[in-house]
Structures are given as C-alpha cells and as structure tokens.
Amino acid sequence: MVVADVLEGVLTTISRYNMLRPGDRVIAAVSGGPDSTCLLHVLLALAPALGIEVSGVAHFNHQLRGAESEEDERFVGRMAQQLGLPLYTAKATARAGGNLESGLRRHRREFFNSLLQRGAGTCIALGHTRDDQAETVLFRLLRGSGLPGLAGILPATAEGVVRPLLGTTRAQAEQFLHDRGIPWRQDSSNADPRYARNRIRLQLLPQLEREWNPRLRESLAHLADLAFEEERWWTRETRRVARAAFQRCPAGIELHAGELSALPRAAARRLVREAIRQAKGDLRRIEFRHVEAVIDLALQRGSGAGRLSLPRLEVVLSFDWLLLKTQAAAVVPEIPVRAPGAYRSPDGNTLIRVEVSRPKPAAYSASGACATLKLDVWGSQAEKQSHRFRELRLRGWRAGDHYRPIGQSRDRKLKEMFQRARVPSWRRPFWPILCMGQNIVWSSGFGMAADFAANAAAGSAVSRVGSREKS
C-alpha cells in the first residue's frame, strides 16, 4: 500500500509542477540515504509511464565523515552498477573559512550544473521530502524571512533541478524501501547538534508537535505551497511592470521615484527587489530594511537629492528619479563625427545621423522623435568646409559647458538647463553634445546653438544632423 501511495504521490507532484516531460533524461542525485535512494527507485519505476529516461546517478562526496563518506560513495557506486546506470562523482574541495554548509551547497550545485552543461542529462532530481520542506520553512521563519523565503524548497528551478518527493514524507520513503527490500545508508552527521537544521529536526519540531500542533509539518508544508504560488504570480507580474518601469542607462537601472511612491506598498517592495536583482545580479545580503529604505528615499523626491549604500549597491535620488548602480560609470570619450555617418550617443538612447545637403529656407525643424538641425559649420569655400567639418565631435557633458541655444537671448550654462529640466545628475555625463573645438554646436533636448545656425539667405552649405530616440 505504501509503495502505491508513494508512486501515486510522486506522479501527482510531477504533474502539478510540470517537472518532467516525455523525452527528459533525468540524473538522480543520490547520497545513499533513504530519501535519495527512494527517489532513484521511484524514478526508475515511473520512467515508462512518464516517457523519461534515468540517464545516470550523481554522488557528491562531502568528505565530512572520513571512512563513512568513502563508504557512502562505494555504496552508491555499487547500486548504480547493479541498476546498469552511469555513475558521476565529485568530492568537496578544500574548505577555508566561511560557512561550511553554504560552501558545500555551492560546490554541489556547481557539480550538478557541470553534468547538465556536458549533456549527461536534461535535469537533476533531488530527494527533498515534505519533512525537509517543513524544516526549511521553520528555519527561515525563525530567521525572519519574508514571503519569498517562506516558499521554502522550490519544486523546480530554471537551472534544471526538480524535486519529485516534495509531497512525500521521510517515513513514507523509508517504508517504500523497506517494503521493496532496498538497503540504504544512515548519515551519522544527521544527529550532530552543531548543525541548526539537526536541532530543528530532532528537538524543536518534535516539541512544537507535542505542545502546539501534532500536524505541524503538514501545516508548514502547506504554508510553503501557499507562499510558492503567491511568489510565482508576483514574479510574473513584477517583471511585467518592471519592463515598463525600468530604464537601463550606462550608470545602472533607473526607476521613477514618483511612480514607485504611488504604488501600493506590497507592489513597491516587489518592484524595488526586482530593480536590485537586475542591478547587482542577485539579492544576496539584501534585507527587508534595505528595501524599505529605498522606498522611503523615493518619498523624498521633493528634496531633490539623496543617497543610500546597500550591500554591493548604491542608490541615488536626483529630482524625480532613482538610480541603482554597482560601480562608477565609465568616462565618456569624444567621438570624431564625419558626414555622412550615424553615431550612437553617449547615453546609448539616441542615434545621431549626420549628412551634407544644400541649404533650405528653414534653419531648424523638428517632428516627433526625430529632429533635423541645419548648421553652418564652414563657409563658402569647399576646402574650408572640408577642413572645418573634421573638427565636429560628439561627446558627453562636462562641468562648465555653456552656449546660447536658438531662441535664447543670452549664453547659458548647461548645468542650469539641466536643473530647470530636472535632469538627474547621473544622466548628465552621458548627455549627447556636438561640439566644434570648445564651442557647443548642439545638445540633446536644448537644441541648436544660435551661433552655428545656417543662414539660408547667404547660400552656404549646411550639415543636417538628425537625432532619433530609441523606442
């Protein structure tokens, strides 16, 4: 009866989370303990019905228990040989400092990833059970985890890891092996009270079950499932919103402070976490207080400026925008401009096209996202024209830049124009500017320099400079 229940439960779990598909080649990660040994034999029993292949057995030797660890490896090797399956093994490398359990998990993950990368299988199956799930959720709850952490052990990951036994208890796995006469190994380190998870498994959970809730493991597993489904929906929705809300720039990820402040707090927190993830590549060492600090900084947008330091990340407020960056932006070089030609602006958001044409009556025209600027960059003689045009260069803003745009009565500093236009500080070094020598010919958003405007009545040749914003 237990055997049938386990097989049916695993089929339900695989189907619910779409873990495996016909044609998948599954590598079973086997330590030699009852959970992973049960997993291997369950997968072999269900393989014909699922249309999958068990393509091998992977064993990672942690080398924590001396001769016991070596015997575990030999035990798994004999089992793989008896089943006619390829065996893949790896040993933990030298461990110097840091968290031991975290380091071993990282090495084990790297080993599994290497198997998938070399084509030994299409996914790795791990033997985590419902008991493991309950212990993980309780452990994270005690450490103050948020909803993402309470999702516990994920049933399947994008990296190709699946956990078919998450709906099965440890007792069911052991009974399955007992009923089929299949041996397994006991890990003596599972009784070592130095490990926090062992204390939870052996002391805290049994006490809570006796004194508070005899079905606590089941309740914790249900909490994990609720959190997982919530997270799955929130992740899709947050990334959909992020595609419209985030702007990538050379300095990092931009987010409009006003739009963030207007969101419900729950949505704002998710969006900030996603911005942090995209800016630094992960959420390691990011805590609840860090996310709250970013939202609070956005609420200060009326003050004009602010700054936060987070783990491996800096958050800057300038006018109505937040910037999340991991390092200082690169220096913007000057780029020689030739006609005809097309040039990507320093900010990466503008394509500037330059061409030579005969003058027309209008000195400046603009339509939609594309502006055509007609400038007198030389004079009447072709030799002089060619020589002077070679001086035209594209660069970013520099402190002290100033010029008189068309329609303005006097020369103005670009810094003043930036402040009036509420341009964030980090965008300024990448602001597209065309210059000739020390003189500005044109700058994005503020237009043509009056001193370089073409005089159509004089019949001089002109250069047409078009800028188009990327969609």
Q: How far is CA 213 from CA 201, 205, 209, in A?
A: 15, 10, 5
CA distance 107 to 113: 10
Q: What gap in Å lies between CA 58 and CA 185, rounded to an integer? A: 16
What does the pLDDT look like over 92-122, one tens digit per residue? 875 545 566 777 888 899 999 999 999 999 9
Interval 439-468: pLDDT, tens? 898 898 898 888 877 653 333 333 445 454
For domain 250-325, which architecture applies? Answer: 2-Layer Sandwich (3.30)
pLDDT tens-digit series, residues 145-184: 888 889 999 999 999 999 999 999 999 999 999 999 999 9
Nearest to 446 by CA among 356, 364, 355: 364
Residue 344, both tokens: 């990507």
pLDDT of residue 376: 53
Residue ranges, comma separated, of all CATH 3.40.50.620 domains in the chain are 2-227
* Element housing 371 (H / E): strand 370-375
Query: What are the pLDDT digits (tens) for 303-317?
Result: 668 899 999 999 999
- Dihedral of the alpha carbons of 57, 60, 63, 67, in degrees to the nearest 10: 0
Asked if residues 261 and 271 have their Cβ atoms less than 8 Å apart, the reply is no
> What is the per-residue pLDDT for 321?
93
What is the CA angle 382-386-388, rounded to 5? 115
DSSP state of 251: T
Instruction: Give per-residue pLDDT as tens, 401-411.
Output: 999 998 888 99
Residue 378 has pLDDT above 70, yes or no: no
For the domain with range 2-227, which CATH number is right: 3.30.9.10, 3.40.50.2000, 3.40.1400.10, 3.40.50.620?
Answer: 3.40.50.620
The whole-model pTM stands at: 0.74
DSSP label of 263: S
Question: What kind and span of H or E run contains 367?
Answer: strand 364-367
pLDDT beyond 50 at 385? no
Nearest to 124 by CA among 24, 49, 252: 24
Nearest CA to 251 among 313, 170, 184?
313
| pLDDT for the residue numbered 104 | 80
Give residue 361's pLDDT band: very low, low, confident or very high (50, 70, 90). Answer: very low
Sequence ranges of the chain with CATH classification 3.30.465.60:
250-325
- Yes or no: say if 260 and 242 are a contact pair by the CB < 8 Å rule: no
Contacts made by residues 387-390, CB under 8 angstroms, sequence distance 24+: 388/436, 389/338, 389/339, 389/356, 389/463, 390/336, 390/338
Lowest mean pLDDT among 35-39, 198-202, 238-242, 247-251: 247-251
CA torsion 58-62-66-70 (nearest 10°) is: 10
Q: Which residues pair with 14 in a beta bridge?
A: none
Which one is predicted more confidently, 6 or 334? Answer: 6
